[in-house]
Every structure is written in C-alpha cells, then in structure tokens.
Amino acid sequence: MRYILAVPMEAFFDVLEQLYKKVLLGATLENENHDYIFYLNPASLDQDCSTAASSECPNPHGVQDKHQPSSANLATISAVPVCLKKHSPIRSAREVVLLQLTVIKVMITRILSVETDFRAKEKYRDTIKVLLKSSDIDSKLTCMFQNSDKLLSHMAAKCLALLLYFQLREKITFSNSWIAFCQKNLSEYPENEKAVYCLWTLTVIIKEIFKDTCSQKTEILKQFLTPFDTIFEVFYNSLFSQHFESCQDTSKIINSLICFLELLELLIASRIHLKLHFTCQRILFLKPSCVLDVITWPVQAFVKRKFIIFIKKCLLWKVGEDLCRASSPVLMPPDRHLDVDMLALADAVLRAVDLGLLRTLSVHGKPPCFGGDEIQPTCEHVPGPDHVILRAASLLIIKSVEIKFQSCASADEMKVDLQSFMCELLTFLKPHLQPSLQSHNLCEWISKVFIEQDDDMLEAAKASLGIYLKLTRQCKATESSTQEKEMWNHHTHEYGYNPHCIFLFLLKNIGFDSSVLLDFLISSETCFLEYFVRYLKLLQKDWAHFFTICKYFDVTESKDSINICGCSSSFVQDGSSNQTELSPSAAPGSPRSAHASISWASNVSSGSLSHLVISKETYATLQADSLPPLRASQSLVDYDSSDDSEAEGTDQHSANSKQTSLHQEAMKKSQDPVGTGTDKKQLRLEPQSRPLVPKQSNSPFSVDCDRVPNNVSEVGISYTTLKCFEELQGAIYRLQKKNLFPYNATALLKLLKHIEAIYNEHMNAL
C-alpha cells in the first residue's frame, strides 16, 4: 500500500534551501541519494500554479523530520510527488518548484564543472541518475512548458535541457516520450504552438555541447542530432512557407523565426567546427532562398537585421564564434563540401541582389540602441540611417562576389558581374553616407561605411583585395596593351575596389599610427594579419601603381588645404568645409568615431591617375607645410607609463604565455626603448632626430631611418606610409626579441624590410 508523505511547506522549503546552499558551494552530500530525491522531485502544478491535490493529503504516519525522510519510507517518498497541503499559499508552491528546478540545474552544472571536487561530483551524478530513474521527470517538465508563469516555463525548459545533456554525457538513452514530444510538435507547426519550446530546449543542449571541455563533442552531437535530422527539414519548410502578410498574430511567427535562427546558427557552427554533415546542418545551403525571402517580408527592422547579420556571419565563417573561440576555422583544414555550400549561399545572395534585394531594405527609422530603440522625450533624436544594416548588406555583397569569383575562370564574366553588383551596392549606399561619396574615387566607400566597426572593415578590405587579385591574374593572361592596362586601372577606381586606395584610406582612418596596426596584428578579433600580408605581397610587385596613387592623394590633399602629414592633432570641422577631425581611436576591434576623410578635387578624374605629373610648385607647397605624422591622439594603452620597459629582463617571459598576457606585455613594451616619457613626447614631433628602429648590432635587419626628406619628391603620403611601416617594423622586432609577440613574425618583418628597400631604391632613382 502506497502512502503519501505530507510535509509542512515551510519545513520543505527550508530543507531545499539548505540543499541548494550546499550544492552551490560544491560540498559533498552525506545522506543517501534517495533522501534527496524526495525534495528534488517537482510537484505537479497546473497552469495557475495551484496545488496538485484537490483535498488535503492523507498522512497516516504523521509529518516526518523536515531534514530527512525515514529509511522505512524511501520507496514511498521517491515514487510519489510531494503533495502540497491544501492550505499552503499558491505563491509558496510556486517558489518550491522554482527552487527544486534551481537545485537540479546547479547540481548538473557542478557535475559538468572541472572545478568540482571528485567525491562531491560523483555524489551529484548518482543523485541525478536516481532522479531520472525514479520519476518521470521529463514529462513533468514538458508539462510546465506552456505554464502561464513565464519564469516557471523558462526554468523548466532550462532544467530539462541540462537533464537531457547529462543523459548524453552519461550515455543514457533519451526517453521515448521526449523524442516523440519534439517530433510531434515540430512536424505540426504552425498549428502546434509548442514547437518554440522544443526549439529553445534543443538550442540550450547544443550550446552545452559547445561549452563542454570534453573531447567527445562530435560523438555527443551526432547522438543528439540523429533522431531530429529529418524533422528539422520539415519544420524549416513549414516555417518559411508562411504568408506573413495574411497572419493575424505576427508575434508568434517572429518568435518562432528568432528561436529557429539561433538554433540554425548553432547547427551551422557545429558543421564548421565539429565536422558533421547532417542534413539539418546543411539545410540553409540547400534552400538559402527561404531565409533570404524573410528580408523582403514586411516584418520589423530588427528581424531583418538579425537575418542579414546571420547570413553575413555564415559567409565569413563566424557563426557561433562566441562559443567556438578555441578553434578558429581559419586554422582548420579545407573542407571541400563546405566550400561548395558557401558557393551556393553566395550565389543565392547575388541572385537576390539581382532581383532587387537592396531596394527592399529600409535603413531609415529608429536607430538600434542598447536596451531598445525607444528614445526618451527629453533626449534629442539624431536622424540617420541604420548603419548596422548598411555594414551587413555591404559585406554580404562584397564577400559573396569574392566567393563566387573563386570558382570563376572568365575575366569578362567577372568584370560584368563586379560592375553590376558594385553599381547596385554604391547606388544603395550613396544616399546614406555623410559626407557623400565623391564620384571621382569611390574606393573610400569601405572606410565610410565601416568606420565604426574595425573587424567588418578589415573583412571588407580583405574581400575587395581578393577580388582584385583574382581579376588581376585573369586579366594578365588576356590583356597586353598599355591602353587595356589603363582601362583596367580605371575600372578599379570606378567600381571602388582599388587595393592601394582602400589601404591608404584605412591608414588615414587611424592617423598613420603604427601602434594601431600593432594592435590589429596582435588582436585575434580581426583578420588584419592575413589582409596585411596579402597586401604587402601585392605592394612588392605593384609599387609603381602605388606611388602614382600616392601622388594623386597628395595633389588632392593640397588642393583641399588638408595636410595629411601635419602634426596638428586635430582639425576643427566647421560643417561647410572639407576639413575633418584627425583624432583616431586606437582600440582594436572597437568602434572608431573620429577619423580623417579625404575629399577629391572635382576637376580630377580617376582615369588620370596613370598620367598624373606633379609640379614642383605643388611639392614645394607640400614640403613647406609638412611635418612627420603624430601618433593617434587616443591609444589603447598609455605608452608613456612604461619608461623602464627596456630595463626589464626577458627571462621572465616565455613563448608559452597566454594570449592575453602577451597582448598586455606587448602593448607595454612596443615603444621607444630609450628616454623618459617626457622625452618621448618631444621625440614624436621630431622622429627624424633618431632612428625609428634601434640600430642594434645583433639586429637581423637595419632600417635606414635617419634619412630626412631633403627632396620635394619624398614628401607626401608615400613617405608617411613608409614611416608608419618602419615604426611598426621596429615595434614588432623589439617584441619578438623578448618573446612577447604572440606568433613568429619573421616573415612579416622580411616583407616590411623589402618594402622599405623598394621605397629607398625608388627615392634614389628620382
């Protein structure tokens, strides 16, 4: 005969609270496992959090001790849920269940943590196993999903997800009821509204797989995805085949879209990082138009924004980057199947652009802000476009073009495609950029669009460089005449992808500050290293073109009365002139709000670059006004606080230091090894008085930095660029010598040294 044990609510809650405190501290549990199951087995509640019993529960044996049930009643206690007394307040019943779920959640978290004591972890593991065997807890938690109490519903889903992941880790077979519950609800969407709870639970499980430190992630994920692989495709088709305009309650569709988008990102991330090939992981690439169509729906701007950013992250292989930092896809072996899928996605994006995708994007309205888009009445609303969408859409197109060109062999076809898509993009961007793009050099679009997002700016620059290199290789095989080469150069400016212009605009954005480039090289948050190396290799072969463009920059700067090399820390922008503030921020991977911008002379066309000749009067003007460039006025680290950095021994640093400590030490040691902080400030204004790189006898290279420009042809942006390279070269050398640089930079130093040699040779020939 079964008996139901009735325990006073307050006593029951006190025991649970004590158990929670012990588990939170990771303390070992002393009692038998069954003793704790009594308190952890959730009470059955209806949607109003009322008690499960309609009458007072019988208590033939009286109330047991509140801390531990008697051993004689262990079977009875573990088999029957707690019966909450009729007179107990509803609020207390809710709190008991929430505390039960919290204890279970913390206990599983402790099991998964490497910091938990082994003996305590084993006790927790045994307790959870007994809980899974002795009660139908899966069904109880799924019943709480649609509870009107949102907190209770959320905690139930979170707790169930952790229990399911625990079963995966311990190789315990899922209950058939749970699998059937998910398959039924996902297959019956949109008629069945419980699908969103399944999506949320599945998302949490995959997140736990990624966060786990065990070496069996791939096997665990494979076991998890197997029963759901087919049903995901059914749900995918149902979700994106809905007619949004005809739906009465669009909030439910939006909720489903956002939940599934998060799950889809994790599935694709697991495809990249864990090398599995389930259909559900490839569904986006097999049917990309479904997701792209959402961008054209009459849906709220934040939904479109999420979908555009999601597709951008897919093309950049950055899906799930917050969970997968330990294994960057750049370091992974090539995946031919994934390359094919990325090409399919890029083709779908470009087809959508052809059909007018950009024309459906509205970038006006309330700007996205942290905490929402509502602006307080007392705050002034500054009108402007949604720069998040501008950046994402721009990178979406330029990256898709690069991916498509990788498998294209026809130069003519690539030129036609590039002209078409860049015209679409620039037409889309021009109305939203202030100050507006000058038609004489459209290569500035990258610096203007991505001025507040360094990582995206460098991705766009790298993609643009990839397009240029691919086209260059194809055109060299077909073009031979001088006229064809001039047309080719004109084409690169007309459609905004000339790599030298783009790189010079990037340097102008950071005020030619070598410490910012050093930040980029050390940081793992941008692709600057890859981009920089590829550009330097191009610069070695294309120096004449680079120098011609530099002269063009010098002439237009002179005509606009802007001195690129001026030592003034800032220009005050008056709103009507073309002078722009020069006070760049130096934080890597973070927004930069104040940068230099260039305005091109209205009477000079981009086609004149290859024929440009600079008069002596122009250079005389440049020489008279020029001084070597200042460092950026705002830097990531206060370098003047490290006066005695060179005096520190190098034996305390090792090559195996963590990336973060390397970054911190590198920033402290990257500056001038001699002199005090006060002297440094003076030396920055007169860099010609000392070498940019210390001439040490054991240095593997020597930089001729004592040359002071005594010829007018040496003054200008090319000279400023090389000075920046020399400072960067010296900083890298000093750091690598002390084992403070996070990777072997020997090849990079050789590239910089070679560029300097080419420059000196060019200057001597003038």
Residue 68 C-alpha from the chain's centroid: 50
275 and 247, same structural domain?
Answer: yes
Question: Of 537, 466, 461, whose CA–CA distance to 750 is shortest?
Answer: 537
Cα separation, 462 vs 602, whole angstroms: 29
pLDDT in tens, 245-287: 777 788 889 999 999 999 999 999 999 888 888 999 999 999 9
Residue 91 predicted with pLDDT over 70? no
More confident residue, 250 or 587: 250
Q: Is 202 domain-assigned?
A: yes
320 and 392, same structural domain?
Answer: no
Q: Which long-range contacts (CB under 8 A, 24 or more apart) does 148-157 make?
A: 148/47, 148/48, 149/47, 149/49, 149/94, 151/98, 152/45, 152/49, 152/94, 152/97, 152/98, 153/197, 155/98, 155/101, 155/102, 155/105, 156/101, 157/197, 157/200, 157/201, 157/204
Question: Is the N-terminal amide bond of 329 cis, ω within 30° of 0?
Answer: no
Cα separation, 78 vs 94, whole angstroms: 20
Q: Is 746 domain-assigned?
A: yes
Q: Is 609 domain-assigned?
A: no
Domain boundary among 151, 173, 195: 173
369 by DSSP, 3-state: which? strand
Token pair of 485, please? Answer: 């080469």
Q: Is 276 domain-assigned?
A: yes
245 and 313, same structural domain?
Answer: yes
The one-letter code for the residue type at 667 is: M
257 and 299, same structural domain?
Answer: yes
Read off the pLDDT of each residue in 107-111 and give the average, rounded to a whole number: 94
Q: Is 74 domain-assigned?
A: no
Q: Is 619 domain-assigned?
A: no
Rounded percentage of the chain residues whose pLDDT exceeds 90: 40
546 and 466, same structural domain?
Answer: no
20 and 169, same structural domain?
Answer: yes
Number of domains in the chain: 4
More confident residue, 136 or 91: 136
Contact 217, 210 (CB under 8 A): yes
Q: Is 610 domain-assigned?
A: no
**Alpha helices, DSSP H, located in 437-481:** 445-449, 454-476
Domain boundary among 156, 173, 190: 173
Contact 448, 413 (CB under 8 A): no
188 and 143, same structural domain?
Answer: no
Residue 718 C-alpha from the chain's centroid: 33
Range of the structural domain that residue 156 is part of: 1-43+92-173
Token pair of 591, please? Answer: 């927004």
180 and 166, same structural domain?
Answer: no
Q: Is 688 domain-assigned?
A: no
Cα separation, 540 vs 759, whole angstroms: 10
Residue 314 C-alpha from the chain's centroid: 11
Considering only 133-147, 254-268, 671-685, which range has the smallest mean pLDDT? 671-685
In the prediction, which pLDDT does 659 show?
41
Domain boundary among 173, 197, 224: 173
Token pair of 393, please? Answer: 């859409």
Distance set, CA 529 to CA 447, 459, 518, 533 (Å): 18, 11, 10, 6
239 and 181, same structural domain?
Answer: yes
- The pTM of this model reads 0.73
pLDDT in tens, 520-550: 999 988 999 999 999 999 999 999 999 999 9
Token pair of 339, please? Answer: 């390359």
Read off the pLDDT of each residue in 414-420 and give the average, rounded to a whole number: 91
425 and 285, same structural domain?
Answer: no
In the prediction, which pLDDT does 560 show?
58
| Residue carrying the six token digits 């649970």 | 16
226 and 169, same structural domain?
Answer: no
168 and 262, same structural domain?
Answer: no
Beta bridge partners of 369: 372
More confident residue, 598 or 374: 374
| Residue carrying the six token digits 């008697």 | 70
Residue 123 predicted with pLDDT over 50? yes
